[in-house]
Structure 1
Amino acid sequence: MPFILLIVIYLSFISLGLPDSLLGAAWPAMQSDLGTPVYAAGCISLIISCGTVISSLLADGLLRRFSCGIVSGCSVLLTAVGMYGFSAAESLRMLCLSAIPCGLGAGAVDAALNHYVAVHYPARHLLWLHCFWGIGCALSPVLMGAALQSGSGWQGGCRAVAMIQIGLTGMLFCALPLWRKTAVESEAQPHIPMRILLRMSGVPQTLLTVLCYAALESTAILWASSFCVQVRGMHPKTAAQAASLLFLGITAGRLLCGFLTRRFGTQCLIRAGLCGIACGLLLLILPLPAPAACAGLIILGTGCAPVSPCITHDTPVRFGKAYAQELIGMQTSAAYIGTSLMPPLFGLLTQCAGMEVLPLFLAMFLAMTALLTDPAVRAESCQIPSPDNQL
């Protein structure tokens, strides 16, 4: 039963990846059809990310009240509703309204599944879990590209993703007995207020690291397709498929890193990933032909592969399993704060600086992540402040 449940958890992470890459792949066609400004994609992304921050902060309370299976199933259902809303949208206002359930559906399930796997399984399983997120991210641009080529438009691509989400929702609700049999429900643990957790040694550095890395990854995901169109001169249909190379690199990299964790450890993989990101950005910065940009996206994605899952898996080891659920929820919130702020900020930046500055913008957050990495991935354990002494 635990093995079957692990497969269900893996498949659940596909549902997290599907919406994450859909907007970026569809946006060139959406913008043309609806007549919206380029930076409006950042506004929609901001709404999604704000909803995710809220739901991830509420994840600990939800998981203490409901099982992880119920929280996951309801969350995926919310994203299905949002995707269907996208497919029926005829204005920017409708897109913004549909973004609300997309955001609320992502945060709680992200924190819940990350915590469960980080506590109960070796690091390779968390990397493989995030590999399935990459499968979902890679699948969306492919589906969108196929929909655009078939003539069903971006609406057809959104409908296809919504149907997949509905199927995954059904799977999660059918698997509810597995969660009960394996006692996935959150164990009763003393609740520590967030203000006390923020005083722990290493927590602020880790949260800032996650925020900067998430800003890099989410900005690349949202604007890669537009970069290929406006800077490398690709057709929107081709650019949507080229953007999937970024997720191909993430997915393949996490699959490979899952086998390498036992030999090299999570800290070594994080540093190697940051070097890979730098190499990918270099290919995007240089004025090279379109195939070089495609190679840069693959290398960039491969470099992104180990960073987030390795930091998450180290959390129970560094700070203690008893408080890992709260801390991973805070990390999820920090990640989505970066996701909320930076893609729309870059959208505004393009109005005066152009899409050409995307690699430099990403390089800035890579430098910040690298500077914060050493204190964020130290192996020593950290002591939890006593609530009695802090209140």
Structure 2
Amino acid sequence: MARLLLLIIFIAFISLGIPDSLFGTAWPAINQEFELPVSAAGYVTFAISGCTIISSLISAKVINKYGTGKVTAIGVIMTAAALLGFAYSSSLLWLCLFALPLGLGAGAVDSGLNNYVALHYKASHMNLLHCFYGVGVSISPYLMSLSLSEQNNWREGYYTVSLIQGVIALIVLLTLPVWKKANRSLQEDRGNVSKTVSLAYLFRLPSARAAWMTFISSCAIETTAGIWGSTFLVHTKGLSVESAAKYLTLYYIGMTAGRLLSGLLADKLSSWKLIHIGQSILAAALITLMLPIQSEFSALALFMVGFGIAPIFPNLTHLTPANFGKDISQSMMGAQMAASYVGITIMPPLFGLLAQRLGMNLFPYYLAALFVIMILSITTLITRLKKQNLYAPAKK
């Protein structure tokens, strides 16, 4: 039963990835239709991420009361409805309004499923979970690129993706009884497994702030590359909107491939080792992206950015119970997801404002600055974990 539940969780996590890459791919076309400044994308991403932060911070209390399964089902339904609303939006205001349920639903699903897998499954399963997220973020820009190239209609792309999201919501809803049976075998409901603690309590933990900064910076890299990669290729490399959308798919394919490989290696290499390998690949990719190279090589560099960033988030997430304790892992997971969306909320729109003034050539250097912050944060985290004898760089 635990294996069947894991499959359901994998399918549900596809729904989390689908919306994340869609807006960045569609934005050049939306921007042209609504005659908006490039930086206006920040309003929509701010609304999505702001609601995700709120949802993540309250997720521990809600999940501990209603259970991960029910919260996941409601969250996926909300995101499916929001994507359908995007398809029929007639202005920036409507996009921002439908961004609210999209963010609220995503935050609940993200926090709940990440903690559930971290508690009850292996590191390889966590990496594969995020590989399925990669499936979602790879499918949606490809479908959007087809709608743009064949019909020049971003609305059709949103409509198609909302149908896929709706099917996933139906699957999760119909399989809710599986959660009850699996929870008995996994003994999820033991009283000492999970308790809700305040954000102030977590803030006082020695390693929490460094962990939050690591999540902020790594997710800022991941999202900024996804949202602005297509626009970078259009404005800097001279590609058409349709071609840039297809090339951006390589970024998400790289992320998916990286998480698949990380999952396969997780039984042989520790989570920390996989994180360090990812950082090295990401550094090389960012240096390549800075070079004055042809558009095809820039697309390949974006692939390597996705491949390098891939193992960092899932492995840091899986380490949460080990780093902070199983009893408060749901509260810490919610705080980490909120921290992630702080980076997602602030850094991509900040780049949009800077790019409007300084040009899209800033893109690789902006990612590099975020990378430096991530390295400093993760070094601080490791130092503090070592003092608590919680850092385990080798596979046990």
Deviation of residue 277 (structure 1)?
Answer: 1.2
Q: Which residue of 1 aligns with 2:136?
A: 136
Conserved 8 A contact 2:196-2:330: no
Q: Secondary structure at the match of 1:231?
A: helix
1:79 equivalent in alignment to 2:79: yes
Q: TM-score, normalised by structure 1?
A: 0.95
Q: Which residue of 2 aligns with 1:317?
A: 322
Deviation of residue 259 (structure 1)?
Answer: 1.6
Conserved 8 A contact 1:285-1:359: yes
Distance in 2 separating the partners of 1:213 and 1:204: 14
Deviation of residue 13 (structure 1)?
Answer: 0.7
Paired AA for residue 34 in structure 1: F
Q: Secondary structure at the match of 2:328?
A: helix
1:145 equivalent in alignment to 2:136: no
Change (3 A) 1:93 1:190: closer
The worse-fitting range, judged by mean Cα deviation, of 270-279 and 169-178 is 270-279
Deviation of residue 153 (structure 1)?
Answer: 0.6
Q: What is the number of equivalent residue pairs in this alignment?
A: 384
Over residues 200-255 of structure 1, what are the superposed CA-to-partner deviations in whole Å (9 max), with x where a residue is unaligned? Answer: 12111111111111111111111001001001111100111111111101100110
Distance in 1 separating the partners of 2:164 and 2:93: 25
Q: Which residue of 1 aligns with 2:54?
A: 54
Over residues 71-123 of structure 1, what are the superposed CA-to-partner deviations in whole Å (9 max), with x where a residue is unaligned? Answer: 11110111111111110011111111111111111001100000000011110
Structure 1 unaligned residues grouped into runs of 5+ = 384-391
Conserved 8 A contact 1:276-1:299: yes
Residue 270 of structure 1, aligned match among 249, 272, 275: 275
Distance in 2 separating the partners of 1:124 and 1:6: 12
Residue 199 of structure 1, aligned match among 199, 204, 211: 204
Distance in 2 separating the partners of 1:344 and 1:186: 41
1:243 equivalent in alignment to 2:243: no
Change (3 A) 1:190 1:20: closer
Distance in 1 separating the partners of 2:29 and 2:318: 38
1:67 equivalent in alignment to 2:72: no
Deviation of residue 307 (structure 1)?
Answer: 0.4
Conserved 8 A contact 2:59-2:108: yes
The worse-fitting range, judged by mean Cα deviation, of 278-287 and 8-17 is 278-287
Distance in 1 separating the partners of 2:104 and 2:323: 29
Q: Which residue of 2 aligns with 1:371?
A: 376
User: After superposition, where does 1:224-263 map in structure 2 within 5 Å?
Assistant: 224-263=229-268
User: After superposition, where does 1:124-203 map in structure 2 within 5 Å?
Assistant: 124-151=124-151, 153-183=153-183, 187-188=190-191, 189-203=194-208
What do you get for the CA RMSD once the two structures are aligned?
Answer: 1.6
Deviation of residue 284 (structure 1)?
Answer: 1.6
Q: Which residue of 2 aligns with 1:354?
A: 359
Paired AA for residue 341 in structure 2: Y
Structure 2 unaligned residues grouped into runs of 5+ = 390-396
Paired AA for residue 264 in structure 2: F
Distance in 2 separating the partners of 1:377 and 1:76: 35
Paired AA for residue 313 in structure 1: H
Q: Which residue of 2 aligns with 1:308?
A: 313
Deviation of residue 382 (structure 1)?
Answer: 4.9
Paired AA for residue 60 in structure 1: A
Q: Which residue of 1 aligns with 2:392?
A: none
Change (3 A) 1:79 1:187: farther
Paired AA for residue 2 in structure 1: A
Paired AA for residue 2 in structure 2: P
Paired AA for residue 96 in structure 1: C
Distance in 1 separating the partners of 2:22 and 2:169: 18
Paired AA for residue 248 in structure 1: I
Distance in 2 separating the partners of 1:245 and 1:278: 18
Paired AA for residue 305 in structure 1: A
Q: TM-score, normalised by structure 2?
A: 0.94
Paired AA for residue 11 in structure 2: L
Q: Which residue of 1 aligns with 2:334?
A: 329
Conserved 8 A contact 2:25-2:248: yes
Paired AA for residue 240 in structure 2: H
Conserved 8 A contact 1:283-1:295: no
Conserved 8 A contact 1:319-1:381: no
Conserved 8 A contact 2:60-2:196: no
Deviation of residue 190 (structure 1)?
Answer: 3.7
Change (3 A) 1:320 1:240: same
Q: Secondary structure at the match of 1:54?
A: helix
Deviation of residue 381 (structure 1)?
Answer: 8.4
The worse-fitting range, judged by mean Cα deviation, of 359-368 and 312-321 is 312-321
Q: Which residue of 1 aligns with 2:288?
A: 283
Distance in 2 separating the partners of 1:145 and 1:34: 19
Distance in 1 separating the partners of 2:95 and 2:329: 35
Deviation of residue 282 (structure 1)?
Answer: 1.7
Change (3 A) 1:371 1:44: same
1:98 equivalent in alignment to 2:85: no
